[in-house]
Structures are given as structure tokens and as C-alpha cells.
Structure 1
Amino acid sequence: MCGHATSRPSCSKAGWRTTRRHWWPTSGQTRADRLRGDIVARERTPAGYGLSRRRLLQGGLVAGAFAVSPTLLAACGGGNGSGGSGTSRLTIAVEGDPHSLNEIIDPGTGIRILNNTQDGLLNRSVDYREVVPGISDFPEQPDDVTYRFTIREGITFHNGDPVTAEDVVYTFDRLMTDETASFGALYRDNVASVEAEDDRTVVITTNEPFPIFLSLCSGNHTKIVQREKVEDPGYGVSVWSGTGPYEIVEWARGEQVTLRKAENANSPQGEAQVDEVVFRAMPDPAARLAALRAGQVDAVIQPAYKDIEQFEDSDEFQLTELESADQTLMVFKTSIPPFDQRDVRKAVSLAINRQALVDDFFHGHATVAGDLYPSWHWAHDPSIVAEHDPAGARDLLADAGFDEANPLTFTCMVLQDQLFLDQATAIQAQLREVGVEMEIQPVEYSTLSGMTAGGPEDWLGPVAMFRITPIRGTAYEFSYYQYAAGGPLNRSDFNKPGGHQRPDIQELMEETIAEADWGGERDEAAKPALAELSRMILDDPPQLLLNYWNRVSVLTDEVQGWSSAVFDLIQLAPVSMSD
């Protein structure tokens, strides 16, 4: 997938596809003690209004010539207008405020913004499934551990300074040494050296063959930045660095982030077609759609799935949709009894009707997970299916010592998002049918992320439900990243000290992942072992992969050139507004 210098790595085995409807392409207290009283109770959002949508053009793109935007209401920052003097604006309603606008700190939804203001040595395709050239073309690769990148001529930062090899060295050095870097260990453990040969040439050496390295060079962590900007005390809040087609003007926390067309940009993403873009934080899905209908915003990212059908055959609105990498996970803390027992975890898996979750809450805009990979992924094996077997679940529970006289009861921390709470409520009812009682504890995103990253003492219960999005789409991210003892997103303690031990799975994972993500014949050769890994994990699950869901955007008719992408990492340079 990451490929060699002569190829363009691809995460997908197929591009957009069409249906009748769409084109898709710390003190003595633990963290849990301190936060236990701060969890906000579950609330339901009101239903939206009834509308339909019209069919999209081929390729999942909203096509059209690049033009100047209609008026954006200056007083309220709304859509469909200009702010005077012919300024074109695009206003996008998103589900929340960024967690960060500093590229080395987990940005949450902020990655959508930084994806348009920064570039890496390599970039991503418009659907974010493929690696493409960035400020450098694909590197020379004389062996499996050496990468020689040459920076393109004419690439500048937003202040007009040229990008040099020293900027690349600084970017990687900061990523590997700054303690705030969310995934710094991934680079420290695998990158041996980053050296500037001259002003435009950088040589990066890994400790051993690291097939996902080119994919990482195209991701959000490794965006190339300037030392003088980064070392400003306001960096990430009021000061930013980048080379992308847009630059950040202002972050009004809790309200919106404003971008403007970068005057000095020569970004490999292309020239921005809109003068100003506003990302408006609107957590309520119904409020986002109401703002769209009222002309206050031009685009809504990720509407509630129940509302999508309302936009069929509309002459006013459009939909784009893409099969994505977003996962609904139920994670067992295998260091907490009784989820240290395989039979208990497998019983919960057998009791869950995954198809019912997709039908009832995604309304056809998701797929049931079987193996570890989404249906569009090169490593996907459609023969691997997660069983729904309530009778088998009861038998396993009995073998583990649980019955009517001694029922299994546990608390599940659930991401405080309606989609996850609805799924958890359905699972609660399904488990009750086999004699299991699950208490649902809603937890806000940042709090849940912190809790699950901690030890057993930080969890409010032995199980958690949340989302992970392997945005680069490598086999490594879908497997090793989440299930290996050294995986950065292994929240279950699987094969970690104190957690459930399966050294045979760990060994197979290490062997196969070293041979995957190179592209071509090497990936094909790795597929059988990756399929076997999926079967082993499905049989002895440290976590349950329930479904993969699609990414959907709703747009006004004026928006042109918009394409859905993994995690809604929309590339805005091609997007324009018609008159």
C-alpha cells in the first residue's frame, strides 16, 4: 500500500461506486474517580424536517466550473452570499470544535482544517485512500529502509519563505522529541535518522523495513512546518504554519474556524477557488440541517443517518457519499475480570445482531464487519463473517459460570453521541435476551479517550464503545495498531502485561504486518495470513468490530467540486461556489 518510489500506493481495490441513490466512490484519585461525577446524561435530538435530494454526477463529485460564491450573510456568518467587495465564502457546518489545531496533537475534527492548510512530503488523493506526491515527488528508495526525497521547486510557506530540507528535518525532529506529540512513539521507534543532503534533498532512514512509512509521510502528523512559527507561544491557537491552499485566520473556540485563500501558496493541492471558508461548530445534527435549509451554511458534514433519505431527488440539495474506514468498536479491558476470559468475550460477540444495528441505525449507509478490513480494502476477505448465535452465547456463558442465578452484569462506557448510544441501547436489549445485563454510561469524547488510554483503574467499567478511524487505510492500522502488544491504539491490554495473552496471535501479527502494505504482489502474498489473523481475533476477541460506516455530506446546489473522503477529510482547493 505504501509502495516504492516508482508506484503510487493505494489503500483501495475499487474507487467510487454507484447505487440508485448515490455515487460513492495525578493525586490519589484516579481519572475515573475525578470524572465520575462529570458525565453528562444522554439526550435525544429532535427529528429533522422532511426533504429529498437529487442524484449526483459520476465519481461522487459535485461537478462544475470554478466560480465566485454567492453571498454569505456577514452578520451571522451564514452561507449563500458574499461579505461585500465580491468576496466568495463557503460555510461548512461540522459536528464540533477541533480538539487541536496543532498537527502533532490529536486534532479530532481539526484534521479536516489542517488538511487544507498544510502539506506533507507526500499528500493524499481527494478520497484520502491513496498516497500522492506532496511537496516532494515519490522518493528514491535504493533499499527497504532508505528514502531520498527532493522538495519541489517553488514550494513556499504562507509567509513566502521557501520550504527547505532543514524544515523537513525540524518537522520530524519535533515530532520525535516533543512530549506532546500524540503519536511520537510511532516515529521514535521506527525512524533512525532524518538528514538534509542539501537545501532541497532529505534522506530518511528507518531502523528496519517499515512498509507504512510513505503512508505516514502523507498523514496529518508529518505536515511540514517552520521552526519560527512553531516556537511562537501562540502556535496552534493564534499562530499557524503551513503550505496549503488555505491559511487559518481565526479560531473562535466553540464557534468557528475561519480560513482564507493563501496569497503565497504554491501548494501541490492546487489553488483555492473560494476566498474564505468557515467551519462552524454545530453539535446538534438537527440544527445543522436547519441551518442548511435556512441558507446559513452551504454544506453539512455527516448528517444523522436517519435524515439522509429526506434529501432524495431534491432540486435544492446534493449528497456525496463514500464507504469509509470509520469503525464502531466494543472494547473489552481484558485485564479486568471476567473479560479476561475468552468465553465471556466470545459470548457477548455471539449475542449481538450486527446486521440489525446497521439496518436500524445506519439506514443502509454502513456495512457489517466480519474480518478486520472494510469492504473496499485490498486485504478484505468477504468469507469471514461474524456469527449471531444467541444459543451459543448462552452455552459459553454457562461454561464461564454465568446463569440465571449468577448473571453476567457489567458497565459499558459509551461515546456520548446519539449514534453510539442508540447502538448501545440495542445491544443492551440483545444481551438481555441471553441473560446479560449491561449498564450504559455515556462519556464525552475527550474524557472517554483519556480513560480508555489509561489502566484498569481509569475505566468506569470493563467495556467501552467508541469509534476508531484508521484514516490512512493501511493493513497495519486495521490490525497491529489496535491489537498488537505495542499497538498505539491497543486499549484492551490484549497481549500486554496483565491482559489476556495470545502469543500465537502476536507472532502472526508481527510476521504478516512486516510483509503487508508494500503494494502489488507483496500485498497479495500477505492476504492469506491477514485473513487467518482476522479469524483468530474473531474467535478470541479483545474487542468487537461491529460495523464500518459511510461518510456523507449534504450540500446546497451552489457548491461545486466537492468530493467525500475518509473521515470527511475534504480537499477544499477544487471546491467552488456557482452564481
Structure 2
Amino acid sequence: MKLKTLMLGAAASFALAPMAMADGHEGERGRDGEVKILYWQAPSILNPFLSGGTKDIEASSLVLEPLARYNETGEMVPFLAEEVPTVANGGVSEDLTTITWKIKEGLVWSDGTPVTSADVKFTAEYCMHPEGGCAQGAFFDGVENVEAVDDLTVKVTFNQPKPNPYGPFVGGQSPIIQAAQFADCLGAKAPECTDANYNPVGTGPFKVAEFKPNDVIQYEANENYREEGKPAFATVTLKGGGDANSAGRAVLETGEFDYAWNLQLAPDVIAKMEAAGYGKAITGFGPLLERIEMNLTNPSPDLPAETRSTVAEPHPILSDVKVRKALSMAIDRELLTEVGYGKAGAPTCNLVPAPAIYASDNTDCLTQDIEGAKALLEEAGWTDSNGDGVREKDGMKLSLLYQTSTNAVRQDFQALIKDWWSQIGVETELRNLDGSVFFGGDPGSPDTFQKFYADVEMYANTFNGTDPQQYLAAYRCGGEPKPSSQWQGENINRFCDPAYDAMIDELGRTGDLDERSALAKKMNDVLTKDTYTIVPLVNRARVSAKANSLGGVVLNVWDSELWNVGDWYRTK
């Protein structure tokens, strides 16, 4: 049956995929003292279900773990589960409507209490609660029921056959939380549970000792961690704030820190830092995409709080696809890549630039077309009637607020794009926000990327694993951030198309890899080439820095970058 192709073909690699190990470095837990990590976008919460920010998801991953995750080659490996369920081993039903997970025996939370199927079931209830605004809701797309069969067995039932049932509880974005700790945090109460959100009880190699939001996290070794002699480090200091330049210098030039995340710097800057001899940059290409998001709703501060940036108020300018297309046409992606990333970037027109099997052959956007963009705006009725260089229509100026996080490369991109847009008659106001706030997900802040109180915004995003099903499912109608969801939700653009929703469902039940590939490419093109809801810019490599004295680091572009921190050790 074609329906089973994905499941059957994946069974062998899932069952046999090795976990990264720190060979030859056994010893007592905590033997290597402190490891110091820099995330220049400071984490603001340690609950990945309440934040779509990479900084928060990855800071949480030292503590919270999923049933399975992806290793550095993109293969799925068991973590809290005994094995990855497949049709071949009986864990996935023949009709592909259920997946049954077996939790490893003897697992305990960092507080010493047993990990059970009730925790897994509760995690689903927490994220699927209609008033909770779960930031990772797409992982539970199509889930009809989650049943605790016995203390160590969990059965997930889908509303249709799921050849790729590895959404819930897989990868760093979908970990397990403790039912006892979060019991009173369901629905609208979720953001109010400060202690649980800042100090989650977990199963990972470390536990939280102290958390100062938007500043620093102190972790200590989890004495109940399942692997003897791990972690090698007794404590972790994860410092936030600053910028990519200072983070890179702290590892590569001065040796003050052991690891720095996301060196969003020009290649020549990194090379000069490496010359000091304290560490080296590590890189890897995956699906990480720098993009511009178009707001399809009206962010005007003149609107009531309950309708501002919601589907109740369409955007007065960007609701027109011709305007969105013109903005994309005016951009020179080749130059952006050269200026910002060099060999650590590749210009792209795709929301899903990798892996290759899912990457569309769409290349139209790679050629900048200023004159074509002007003509398209004329066709849409936007003209410069008074000669001031800014187009108008029906008494409204073609003026946009363009926001992003504070970072030298992003500000360079803003300046270039503002210039190109001015050449086609668009007035652009630039705004940059501290990354800790912009990516923080605080429902009370007006400055989060989810709230989207701007016309366009720019940032990078990626997905766990090598299959984009959950990533593409994020654009389902109703998944947009809104007041009733505590401003959480993955559908940042407020895009809604029933035909696209039907494709989400079709992808969910399609098993043949060629058919999945074709459908995923079509969905990619709907969001980029057909509607210009998302304007891809650069497929970015992950670039981080590690000290020469830090061993066990395995860069992973398919999951949390800190996925194997329990294997890290000091070499000298």
C-alpha cells in the first residue's frame, strides 16, 4: 500500500539510529565543574509550549525532554521511550491511525517521582486546550485522543491515517511536562504559572537552580538523571543578552565562555575572532530560513485591543497580493546573502529550503526586478501623484512599519531593503527590538513577533526533524495568535485558506514519499510564490562557537542545538 511507504521505509533507520556518546570520558557526575554558554538573545521562559522563540525552546531542552528526537544526521532516536514505534515493530497500527509509545522503565523526574504515561497524556491536554494558545499546537494536528494504556504505555489516536505520526512528543519543540507541576495551569491559566514556567521539573541532565528572565539561568546536574556518570558538568551558566559580536568574542577571542549560539555575523568577522586560538566556529546547513513575514491583518494602534492584528481587521495595504509580490520582487537576495552570511548562507525562494526532497524548484524571486515591481504597484492602483517619491491610493500612503530583532546583520538587511522599497515608491519605517523581548512570547508585551504590531517583520525560523509536516501545518485557519489564545499561535501572518487546510489534511494521510514531496512543495509555493504571505530571503547555516577545551559537542541542525549537552565534557 502506498499509504505505508513512509512508515515501512523509515522503520530500519529509526530502530538502529545511534545516539551521540562521549566515548572514553566516563567518571563521576559533575566532575568537570562549570560550563558557560552564551545565548545573546536571552531566554525569557522555560516552557516551550508558551514560546515559539528558539532561545526559549533550547534553554528548556536542558531540562525537558521528548519521547524521541532527531540526531545530528536527522535520524529519529528514542530518548524517554524504549524505542521509536513503527509498523514493523507493532508500535504503529496497520491502518496508521494510532501510535503507541512505551516509556523506559525506572525513569524519574528531577524531583524523584516516577515518569508515567499520565504525564504524557497531560502534556497533550495542556497543549491542545482551546484556551491555552499552545505555541507548538501544530505538533498535535489531527490528534483525536491520547490514552494512558498503563503506567508506561501511551496510545495516540489520529482522526485519519497518519503515515508520519511523529508529531506529538517528538523533538525539542514537543517535550513532556510533569502533570503534577502543571495540573493547575491548563488553558488561560497557563501564562500565570510563573514558578512552573520558570522552574520546570524535568528528566534532562540538568535542573534549574535559578532563573532570571532575560538575563541568566543557573542549572545544576540532575542527580536523578538516567545515565550514570552524566552530565560531566556540575553546573551550567546560560547567560543571555548582548549581541552576536560580543558572544563570538567571549568564546573565540577571550575564552571567557565555552559555547556561543547563533553567530549571526559576517564571515570575515568570525575568521578574525578564530585567529585568537581559543575556539572555533561550527556550522551546519538545515532548514533555517531568514524571511520577511507579511501581516495580513491591520496592526494600527487606532484599533481596539481586541481586534488589532486579528482576522477581524484585514490589512489595508498588504491584503493585496500584488503589493506583497512587488515588495518581494524589489529585493536582491544574492546581495543580502553576500553581505550577511557569505558561504554560511544561500539565497532562496522557499519556506522549506531543506531537505532537498521537500525543496521546491521555485527560483523566480532570485532575480531582482525593480521595474517589474513598480509596474505591479501601478497596476494595483498605487501611484505617486504629488511627486514626493511615495505612492498613494485612496488617500492612503504606501507606508510600512518593518520590525525585527536587534542584530547587526538584520539592521544591514533592513537598510538595504528599505532602500530597494524606496526605489519602488514605498515609505518604510524601521524598528528593531531586543531579541529577548521580540521572541519572548509575553502576552502582556506589545513587542513580540507573535503579536505582530507591525506591517512586516523579519526573523529566522526552522523545524525539528527532516519532515516539514508540522511546519506547514502551522498555517491552518484558526491557528493565529489572538487575545483568546494569550497571543500564542504559530500562524503569525494570520493566513487562512480552506484549500490550504485541505492540503494539510492530505499531507497528513499521504505515505508515498514522492507524493508527500510534491504536496509539500505545492504548499510551500502557496505560501511563497502564489500568495507572497512569506517572503524567503536566505537559507542560513547554523553557526555557533565552541571552546577548544569543550568536548562532546555535536552540532545538530534538526533539533535543539543543546540536544546532547549531557554528553559534553572538559578536554583539558
- TM-score w.r.t. the length of structure 1 is 0.76
In structure 2, what is the equivalent of residue 155 of structure 1? 107
Work out which of the residue numbers 331, 344, 349 in structure 2 matches 1:352.
331
Confirm or deny: 8 A CA contact 2:139 2:167 kept in the other structure. no
In structure 2, C-alpha distance between the alignment counterparts of 1:430 and 1:9, rounded to whole Å: 50
Per-residue Cα deviation, 1:473-511 (whole angstroms, up to 9, x for no partner): 53234433237665743333333xxxxxx665555x336
Q: 1:229 pairs with 181, 194, 213, which one? A: 181
Per the alignment, residue 118 of structure 1 pairs with 64
Q: Distance in 2 between matches of 1:534 and 1:163?
A: 39
Change (3 A) 1:452 1:211: farther
Aligned: 1:304 with 2:264: yes
Q: Report the AA paired with residue 331 of structure 1.
A: E
- Structure 1 residues 62 and 423, CA, compared in 2 at 3 Å: closer, same or farther? farther
From the superposition, tell whether residues 305 and 68 of structure 1 become closer, same or farther in structure 2 (CA, over 3 Å). Answer: farther
Question: 3-state DSSP class of the match of 2:157?
Answer: strand
Distance 1:266 1:182, change over 3 A: same
Cα-Cα RMSD: 3.6
Q: Does 1:138 align with 2:84?
A: yes
User: Hey, what's the Cα distance between the residues in 2 that align with 1:235 and 1:4?
Assistant: 40
- Preserved CA contact (<8 Å) 2:71 2:77: yes
Specify which of 486, 503, 510 is matched with residue 504 of structure 2.
Answer: 510
The one of 378, 395, 403 aligned to 1:414: 403
Report if aligned partners of 1:484, 1:494 keep a CA contact under 8 Å in 2.
yes
Matched with 2:422 is 432
Q: Which moved more, 1:174-183 or 1:196-205?
A: 174-183
Q: Name the aligned partner's letter for residue 241 of structure 1.
A: V
Q: Amino acid of the residue matched to residue 548 of structure 2?
A: D
The answer to whether the aligner puts 1:550 opposite 2:496 as a matched pair is no
Q: How many residues align?
A: 501
* 5+ residue gaps, structure 2: 86-90, 185-192, 297-313, 392-397, 481-488
- After TM superposition, give the deviation of residue 199 of structure 1 in Å: 2.2
Shift of 1:313: 6.1
Alignment match of 1:562 (pick from 548, 553, 565): 553
SS at match of 2:427: strand
Corresponding residue number in structure 2 for 1:21: none
Match of 2:516 in 1: 526
| Among 399, 406, 413, the residue aligned to 2:379 | 399
**Aligned-partner SS, 1:310:** helix
CA distance in 1, matches of 2:12, 2:385: 56
CA contact (8 A) 1:373 1:380 kept: yes
CA offset digits 1:114-141 (Å, max 9, x no partner) = 22222222223146x3432122112211
How far apart in 1 are the matches of 2:12 and 2:374? 45
Select which of 343, 362, 366 maps to 1:364: 343
Residues 195 and 570 of structure 1: CA distance in aligned 2, closer, same or farther (over 3 Å): closer
Aligned to 2:155: 203
Sequence identity (%): 20
Deviation at 1:92? 0.9
Q: Does the C-alpha gap of structure 1 residues 160 and 309 become closer, same or farther in structure 2, counting only changes over 3 Å?
A: same
What is the aligned partner in structure 1 of residue 301 from structure 2?
none
Residue 494 of structure 2: aligned partner: 493
The whole-number CA distance in structure 2 between the counterparts of 1:440 and 1:171 is 39
Given that 1:176 and 1:187 are in contact with CA atoms closer than 8 Å, whether structure 2 keeps it comes out as no
1:569 deviation in Å?
Answer: 3.8
Q: 1:318 to 1:9 in 2, by over 3 A?
A: farther
Confirm or deny that 1:252 pairs with 2:212: yes
| Maintained 8 Å contact 1:94/1:281 | yes
Q: Quick one: distance in 2 between partners of 1:198 and 1:302?
A: 42
The answer to whether the 8 A contact 2:160-2:509 is kept is no
Counterparts of 1:111 and 1:554, CA distance in 2 = 19
Give the TM-score normalised by the residue count of structure 2. Answer: 0.77
User: Contact 1:237–1:251 at 8 Å: present in 2 too?
Assistant: no
1:90-105 matches, within 5 Å, as 90-105=35-50
Report the Cα offset of residue 472 of structure 1: 4.3
1:464 alignment partner, one of 457, 461, 466: 457
Cα gap change, 1:215 to 1:477, in 2 (>3 Å)? closer
- For residue 312 of structure 1, report the CA deviation from its aligned partner: 5.1
1:389 aligned partner: 369
Identify which of 196, 201, 209 aligns with 1:241: 201
For the 8 Å contact 2:360–2:525, the answer to whether it is kept is no
CA distance in 1, matches of 2:27, 2:33: 6
Q: Which runs of 5+ in 1 are unaligned?
A: 16-60, 70-84, 496-501
Measure how far apart 1:354 and its partner are.
1.0
Query: Cα distance, 1:572 vs. partner?
Result: 0.6
